[in-house]
Amino acid sequence: MIDKRVTSFEQALAGIEDGSTILASGFGNAGSPIELLEALVDQGARDLTVVSNNAGEGEFGLARLMRAGRVRKIICSYPITSGSVVVDELHAAGKIELEVAPQGTISERMRAAAAGIGGFYTRTSAGTMLGEGKETREFDGRLHVLERPLKGDVALIRAKTGDRWGNLIYNMTARNFGPTMAMAADLTIAQVDETVDAGELDPEAIVTPGIFVDRVLRVPGSR
């Protein structure tokens, strides 16, 4: 019998190793797996590379993980939000590596990893400093850059409801990176507002099919 629902942060985060690449969903705080990221501090994995659209704000969620010194490198499109003080401090102190890439390129690189695509050409960043050093090729008279897939060892995502098989639905714009990251990691862990039995979600409404999800943890009253 399949039951991907787990009942503790320990079970949810078991086995995440030092040096892992973690895909963390969210656009700002919407859809961010804040509690899972904080529990990862207790779990103890170090030397992490985190892929996230933003680089944390305040002293919670991703910012807390960074403050605890667990993140070696962050790959994001927009590290500046109101209150993104931790990344500022760590970067100024040379304690974190920052790779800034176009938002759609980060997203598409993860999709490529999920789809078994070895690389793709895109116009985005061609002729700019973010495209420097990348292989280029002209198609139909327009310059493109080669981008490689971006795969996660682990995806930490936030959804609204998860069922016993790991099927997920989301809430409004909190969906953002969740579905793509769920597909692009070896181990996908979803924190959800509620869990239900298999068959209770409308199959027409399921956004992330359970094949992409390994563990589902209900986090009541999450932010």
Partner 1 sequence: MGLDRNQIAWRIAQDIADGSYVNLGIGMPELVADFIPEGREIVFHSENGLLGMGPKPPKDQEDPDLMNAGKKPVTLVPGGAYFHHTDSFLMIRGGHLDLCVLGAYQISETGDLANWATNNDKRLPAVGGAMDLAAGTPRVIAMTTHCARDGAPKLLGECTFPLTAAGVVDRVYTDLAVVDVTPDGFVAREIIDGMSLAELQDRTGAPLAAADDLGILKAPALGETAG
Q: Which residues bind partner 1 (CB under 8 A)?
A: 27-31, 55, 77-81, 87-88, 91, 98, 100-105, 107-108, 110-111, 122-130, 143, 170-180, 207
Q: Which is nearer to partner 1, 13 or 51 (CB)?
A: 51
CB 41 to partner 1: min, Å: 23
Token pair listed for 181? 């990251």
CB 42 to partner 1: min, Å: 25
- Asked if 75 and 48 touch (Cβ cutoff 8 Å), the reply is no
Q: Which is nearer to partner 1, 43 or 122 (CB)?
A: 122
- Asked if 46 and 20 touch (Cβ cutoff 8 Å), the reply is no
CB 44 to partner 1: min, Å: 28
Of 178, 165, 185, residue with least CA distance to 207 = 178
CB 184 to partner 1: min, Å: 10
Q: Which is nearer to partner 1, 2 or 172 (CB)?
A: 172
- Asked if 4 and 210 touch (Cβ cutoff 8 Å), the reply is yes
The pairing of strands 185-196 and 152-163 is: parallel
Q: Which is nearer to partner 1, 36 or 114 (CB)?
A: 114
Q: Which residues of 107-135 are buried (b: 16+ CB within 10 A; e: fewer)?
A: bbbbbbbbeeeeebbbebbbeeebbeeee
CB 10 to partner 1: min, Å: 28
Cα–Cα distance, 149 to 120 (Å, whole number): 8
Q: Which is nearer to partner 1, 43 or 171 (CB)?
A: 171
